[in-house]
Amino acid sequence: MPENLVDDIGLDIWPASGILCRFLTDHPAFAKIATSVLELGAGLLAALLGEASLTLSDYDPQVLDVLQQNLDANGLSGRGRVQQIDWKRWRGDPDFGRFDLLLGADLLYASTIVKDFVEVLKLLLDPRGVFLMAHQTRRSIVLDPKTRIPRLEDFDEPLERFKKIAKEAGMHLRELLVVKPETPGSMSDGEFCVLAVGWERSDLESLPL
């Protein structure tokens, strides 16, 4: 990896990505139901899914170059492609289509990106599709107005905002997995969860778990 890219956020391996990898290896039936897979903020997790067509996305051109190198190095360039998607600017492409399985991990890093992210989901998720998202709960440290002592907020603001806006858009959510961290991180880092998001509640209830 080029030295000047080491600190790029898109080139880090974030903790929730391991949780999502483990979830998919523990539930191989997802490989049978997925024909088109888009990984948002991608690594190569989607390659676990059998013979499905793969699209790996990010917004940073440098990260996209690394994704293409990963496809080539793993012999996946024949069934995979790389696509730039900037959540704040991307509003669909008639030639791009929709996907029956979206994957993402540690995507909700700030409340300010949530509304744009949901807009992208609305354009990419097939009417019968499912979005699997792994997330590590993080609560900000704030100053208690009464005691003037630092404490954790009562909730993960980006995650709760995502749930609210997704539901307002007509989506349904189902919590599939909750995992406590194996090693303690910072004070604000909490448990991991895997959520399923889709347009039809019945599709979430019939997932191959």
Within 8 A by CB and 6+ apart from 136, the residues are 14, 15, 16, 19, 106, 181, 189, 190, 191, 192
pLDDT tens-digit series, residues 37-85:
888 876 666 666 667 788 889 988 988 998 899 888 888 888 888 999 9
Is the pLDDT reported for residue 167 higher than 70? yes
pTM of the predicted protein model: 0.84
Task: Kindly tell me the sign of the dihedral angle through the C-alpha atoms of 157, 162, 163, 164.
Answer: positive
Higher pLDDT: 195 or 4? It is: 195
pLDDT tens-digit series, residues 98-150:
999 999 999 998 899 999 999 999 999 999 999 999 999 886 666 677 776 77
For residue 6, the model assigns a pLDDT of 39
pLDDT tens-digit series, residues 173-191:
999 999 987 765 555 468 8
pLDDT tens-digit series, residues 17-36:
889 989 998 998 887 788 88
User: Is 71:80 a contact under the CB 8 Å cutoff?
Assistant: yes
Domains of the chain: 16-204 (3.40.50.150)
